[in-house]
């Protein structure tokens, strides 16, 4: 069996208003990737393209890179050779992690369909059928964030991550407002997206000790592992790395520095599932736990995260699916339901879901 064609379809799904320390959003932008074979079997993936401020990739750059620089290299390759194909891409293109994510996910879906097995079996098997989920609430006024937290609770989600900003005093008010709104009905996390200083992070954590946060995520820039280690030594809750994690080697550096307790694996940053599993394996070897993180994935990438979380040996905390609380359209025929704070992993071939062509036509950009 050979790859015969690679098709890209840029699209944009409207979302409820959301903002983090980088920028604000009104849509989840992505590029659908279809890998066709000469046997007539098609695999579908997605490349995240919603936050150029962070990734440096856009809908236009992802689409053109796949069409002009990747597809010609992969036509005729055996799709079963996922790692070989990703190595070919790595040899021709540095970085562009979102581009690689789209190809990686489509390959996993395709191979799962070829072998009539769920993607989680390609990742080593299933440790859990139901994935505990968390959702973020974007930056807003303290009152609005408290109200938003109540909306998240009403959806059945029991773990909420509060987004922080470069205004640490206002962030303290936001954290306290959210805790007051939800009481003891939800676990709370905090993520300033690297917008704080080392000393400022320690001061904020002391100011909100009575809010009993579950964890703090990446308060300082990605390069500042010494700052992360210092913060970790001064606060009484676990510290999670996100911006500092792109490769397995990053996990080793974090472990050596004592810069985190938890690794947030985002498949847009890890170029998809193959490298994500390597990051998880290195983290386990270093004694660190992992979760699957959110980039407000609009469809197939959302489901890919469920398969990743299902395949994790150690998964003591909820993985993050902010998209479940924000998306205004569903490009899948599958309805993702939250039951008792969890989402069930589809168990059909590949990702176990199908594309809703009608909705795709509504949200596609070209």
| pLDDT at position 13 | 97
Topology (CATH) of 3-116+356-363? Enolase-like; domain 1 (3.30.390)
- Contact (CB, 8 A) for 355 and 44: yes
- Contact (CB, 8 A) for 260 and 254: yes
| pLDDT at position 174 | 98
pTM of the predicted model as reported, rounded to 2 decimal places:
0.97
| pLDDT at position 140 | 97
- Contact (CB, 8 A) for 46 and 33: yes
| pLDDT at position 290 | 98
Buried b (16+ CB within 10 A) or exposed e, 323-351: bbbbbebebbebebebeebbbebbeebbb
- Contact (CB, 8 A) for 279 and 270: yes
- Contact (CB, 8 A) for 3 and 77: yes
| pLDDT at position 50 | 79
Do the domains 3-116+356-363 and 121-344 sit in the same CATH topology, yes or no? no
Per-residue pLDDT of the chain (366 residues), as tens digits, is 999 999 999 999 999 999 999 989 899 999 999 999 999 999 999 999 878 889 999 999 999 999 999 999 999 999 999 999 999 999 999 999 999 999 999 999 999 999 999 999 999 999 999 999 999 999 999 999 999 999 999 999 999 999 999 999 999 999 999 999 999 999 999 999 999 999 999 999 999 999 999 999 999 999 999 999 999 999 999 999 999 999 999 999 999 999 999 999 999 999 999 999 999 999 999 999 999 999 999 999 999 999 999 999 999 999 999 999 999 999 999 999 999 999 999 999 999 999 999 999 999 997
Provide the angle, in degrees to the nearest 10, between the axes of the packed helices 82-92 and 97-114: 160
The tens digit of pLDDT for each residue in 356-365 reads 999 999 999 9
The number of angstroms, rounded, from the C-alpha of 176 to the middle of its chain's C-alpha atoms is: 26
The enclosing H or E element of 239 equals: strand 239-241
In 3D, which of 346, 339, 242 has the Cα closest to residue 295? 242
For residue 131, count other CB atoms closer than 10 A to its CB: 23
CA distance 111 to 273: 13
Instruction: Please name the residue ranges forming H helices in 264-339.
Output: 273-285, 300-311, 323-326
Q: Domain limits of the chain? A: 3-116+356-363, 121-344
**Superfamily of chain region 121-344:** Enolase-like C-terminal domain (3.20.20.120)
In 3D, which of 191, 282, 287 has the Cα closest to residue 239? 191
How is residue 12 written in tokens? 């944009």
The tens digit of pLDDT for each residue in 31-75 reads 999 999 999 999 999 999 878 889 999 999 999 999 999 999 999
Would you report the helix, strand and coil content of the chain in percent, each value rounded to 5?
A: 40, 25, 35
In 3D, which of 318, 288, 351, 291 has the Cα closest to residue 123? 351
CA distance 242 to 249: 14
| pLDDT at position 232 | 98
Return the sign of the alpha-carbon dihedral for residues 73, 75, 76, 80: positive
């Amino acid at each position: 069996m050979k790859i015969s064609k690679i098709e890209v379809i840029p699209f944009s799904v409207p979302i409820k208003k959301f903002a983090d320390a980088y920028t604000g959003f009104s849509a989840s932008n992505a590029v659908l990737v279809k890998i066709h074979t000469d046997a007539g079997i098609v695999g579908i993936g997605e490349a995240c393209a919603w936050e150029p401020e962070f990734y440096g990739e856009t809908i236009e750059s992802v689409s053109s890179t796949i069409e002009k620089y990747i597809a010609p290299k992969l036509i005729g390759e055996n799709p079963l050779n996922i790692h070989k194909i990703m190595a070919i891409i790595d040899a021709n293109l540095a970085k562009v992690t979102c581009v690689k994510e789209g190809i990686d996910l489509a390959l996993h879906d395709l191979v799962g369909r070829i072998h009539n097995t769920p993607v989680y079996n390609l990742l080593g098997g299933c440790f859990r059928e139901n994935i505990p989920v968390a959702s973020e609430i974007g930056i807003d006024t303290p009152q609005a964030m408290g109200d938003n937290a109540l909306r998240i609770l009403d959806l059945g989600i029991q773990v909420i991550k509060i987004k922080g900003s470069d205004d640490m005093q206002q962030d303290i008010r936001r954290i306290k407002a959210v805790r007051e709104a939800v009481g003891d009905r939800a676990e709370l996390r905090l993520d300033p997206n690297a917008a704080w200083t080392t000393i400022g992070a320690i001061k904020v954590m002391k100011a909100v000790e009575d809010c009993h946060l579950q964890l703090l995520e990446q308060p300082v820039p990605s390069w500042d592992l010494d700052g992360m280690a210092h913060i970790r030594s001064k606060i009484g809750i676990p510290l999670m790395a996100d911006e500092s994690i792109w490769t397995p080697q990053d996990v080793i550096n974090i472990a050596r520095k004592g810069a985190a307790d938890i690794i947030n694996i985002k498949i847009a940053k890890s170029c998809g599932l193959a490298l994500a599993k390597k990051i998880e394996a290195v983290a386990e070897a270093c004694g660190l736990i992992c979760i699957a993180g959110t980039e407000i994935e609009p469809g197939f990438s959302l489901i890919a995260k469920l398969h990743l979380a299902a395949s994790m040996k150690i998964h003591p905390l909820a993985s993050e699916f902010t998209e479940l609380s924000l998306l205004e359209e569903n490009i899948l025929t599958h309805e993702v339901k939250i039951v008792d704070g969890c989402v069930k992993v589809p168990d059909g071939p590949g990702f176990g879901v199908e594309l809703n062509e009608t909705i795709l036509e509504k949200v596609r950009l070209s």
